[in-house]
Amino acid sequence: MEYDVIIIGCGVTGAATAYMLSRYQLKVAVLEAENDVAVGTSKANSAIIHAGYDPVPGTLMARLNVEGNRMVGEIADKLNVPFSRCGSFVVAFSEAEVEHLHRLYDRGIQNGVPEMYLLNREETLKEEPNLSDQVCGALYAKTAAVVSPWELTLAMAEVAVKNGVELFLDTRVEAIQKENDLFKVTAANGKNYQSRYIINAAGVDSDVVHEMIGEKEFTVNPTKGEYYLLDKSEGNRVRHVIFQCPNELGKGVLVGPTVHGNLIVGPNAEPGTGRDDRATTGKAMDFVRAAALRSVPSISFRENIRNFAGVRANTEFDEFLIGESKSVKGFLNLAGIKSPGLTASPAIGKYACELLNEMGLSLIEKENYDETREVVRVRYLDAEKKNALIQKSPLYGRVICRCETITEGEIVDALHEVIPARSIAGVKRRCNAGMGRCQGGFCSPRVAAIIARELGIDETDVLEDRTGSYVLTGKMKEGLENV
């Protein structure tokens, strides 16, 4: 199997790059180790589309952040991805921190961030009455937004696949060699692929993938961040994303609305964790809770419905590491993509195309590029549209997930999409079944039955999420199938 470009990894960076490359007359493959896209860091983060006042002016990170902020809004609109330009506040609790807000404001101006405002205490509390009365002021960035990170990734990957990009899931790259200007890539499943160019978008494993063929240039220091996700009853506690002043470990603990109407609280920053360590700990949760209550004292943590963790691909450099490998021609690293990597992703993808072009790849646009994506979300339709849909397919009238009002029709759609769901969590990422207050307690068995029926597999073969994560081990008693 010979390609012009092979992309390794299908998180938001790989998906955005595939999306950008799919508009050109090229043969592109994406090799992803897991059984779905967006299951690494791209599914477990704060989901903020940062305005761009944080990165150091003049860096690639600053430029791609600001450009990405604008691009994500346009893509979300075009590809039907949940997105809300709610704005963000960085709040100060002392005069020294107010000084810091001025510095962030100046950085923002240098980075070209539009619509930023320095608010005094009264203005801040008027906009966000649930903030602590210890607040002294805030930096308001109107262009900050929130998005569904896995749907953004999925949407871009789907458009890429619709336009001819070949996606290979369950394909962990194990070895890379180069002979006569052609890369030979071997996957753990025994399959081999060849290409003229390679893009390394392997997230926390980007150093490992680079060193399969190149000399060491950087080391990923996985840094875990842990979260609370609170029920929708807390979803209106704040209207904007509330940050505290950043420190050397990152942007600090935030409190913010999600696109799905929940409240997200977190993360901490724990350097030196395992690359695949997504466990949450009591200690981190205590830290996050105490830090968040300092900003918004009235948060009710009794409304917590889930804890989760994501791992940052931090390196020894405070910068995205984007460029051709120093030791291997034709090998493009998109590495060290830590925050604001979600925000910057489309700009990174576009920049990757420019770099490939400089490296000798011709980019000729396709004539019949299809940049559309339809998603049915029954709960947002008016009664007339709902009725019309149910007339066409009664499955859209049968609610399976009662917390989120997700119908059987939407679950079936998720299982037959361009990149179909293959697990209960895959269904959840595509249509929100199981995302509500009960976290799938009621609907998971019904979703599992629908998966088994639609995929023609036994229920004992249904996965919770990753390959091997079987939910059922077998029948306890025969004859209960119809209960």
Ligand X SMILES: Cc1cc2nc3c(=O)[nH]c(=O)nc-3n(C[C@H](O)[C@H](O)[C@H](O)COP(=O)(O)OP(=O)(O)OC[C@H]3O[C@@H](n4cnc5c(N)ncnc54)[C@H](O)[C@@H]3O)c2cc1C
Binding interface with ligand X (CB under 6 A)? 8-14, 31-34, 39-42, 45-48, 50, 172-173, 201-205, 209, 225, 267, 310-312, 337-343
Smallest distance, ligand X to C-beta of residue 227, A: 7
Smallest distance, ligand X to C-beta of residue 241, A: 8
Q: What is the DSSP letter of 342?
A: H
* Closer by beta carbon to ligand X, 225 or else 426: 225
Which runs of E-coded beta strand occur in 9-81? 28-31, 48-49
Supply the DSSP string of 281-331, one letter for each residue: -HHHHHHHHHHHHHH-TT--GGGEEEEEEEEEEE-SSSS-EEEE-SSSTTE
Hey, what amino acid is at 176? I
Smallest distance, ligand X to C-beta of residue 377, A: 23
Packing angle between helix 12-21 and helix 341-358, nearest 10 degrees? 40
* Closer by beta carbon to ligand X, 252 or else 397: 252
Taking alpha carbons only, the member of 168, 217, 69, 157 closest to residue 373 is: 157
- What CA–CA distances, in Å, run from 464 to 41, 58, 61, 421? 18, 44, 36, 11
* Closer by beta carbon to ligand X, 148 or else 444: 148
How far is 15 from 21, CA to CA, in rounded Å? 10
* Closer by beta carbon to ligand X, 11 or else 409: 11
φ, ψ for residue 306, nearest 5 deg: -165, 145
* Closer by beta carbon to ligand X, 304 or else 343: 343
Active-site residue, selected from the candidate residues 50, 100, 102, 260: 50
Structure tokens that stand for 43 in this block:
């599914």
How far is 152 from 12, CA to CA, in rounded Å? 7
Q: Spell 189-201 as b/e; 16+ CB within 10 A means b.
A: eeeebebbbbbbb
How far is 482 from 479, CA to CA, in rounded Å? 8
Smallest distance, ligand X to C-beta of residue 417, A: 18
Instruction: Count the neighbouring beta carbons within 10 Å of the beta carbon of residue 439.
Output: 16
Smallest distance, ligand X to C-beta of residue 345, A: 7
Smallest distance, ligand X to C-beta of residue 33, A: 4
Contacts of 159 (CB under 8 A, 6+ apart): 19, 22, 79, 370, 371, 372, 373
How far is 210 from 106, CA to CA, in rounded Å? 36
* Closer by beta carbon to ligand X, 338 or else 429: 338
* Closer by beta carbon to ligand X, 10 or else 427: 10
Cα 239-435-448 angle, rounded to 5 deg: 170
Active-site residue flag, 50? yes
Smallest distance, ligand X to C-beta of residue 176, A: 9
Smallest distance, ligand X to C-beta of residue 400, A: 28
How far is 307 from 228, CA to CA, in rounded Å? 5
Longest CA pairwise span in the chain (Å): 70
Supply the DSSP string of 46-64, one letter for each residue: --EE--S-SSPTTSHHHHH
Strands 331-335 and 192-200 turn out to be parallel
Smallest distance, ligand X to C-beta of residue 419, A: 13
Is residue 185 within 8 A of residue 194, CB to CB? The reply is: yes
* Closer by beta carbon to ligand X, 310 or else 440: 310
Taking alpha carbons only, the member of 171, 202, 199, 168 closest to residue 419 is: 168
How far is 77 from 62, CA to CA, in rounded Å? 23
* Closer by beta carbon to ligand X, 143 or else 444: 143
Instruction: Give residue 7's Cα distance to chain centre.
Output: 17
Catalytic residues: 50
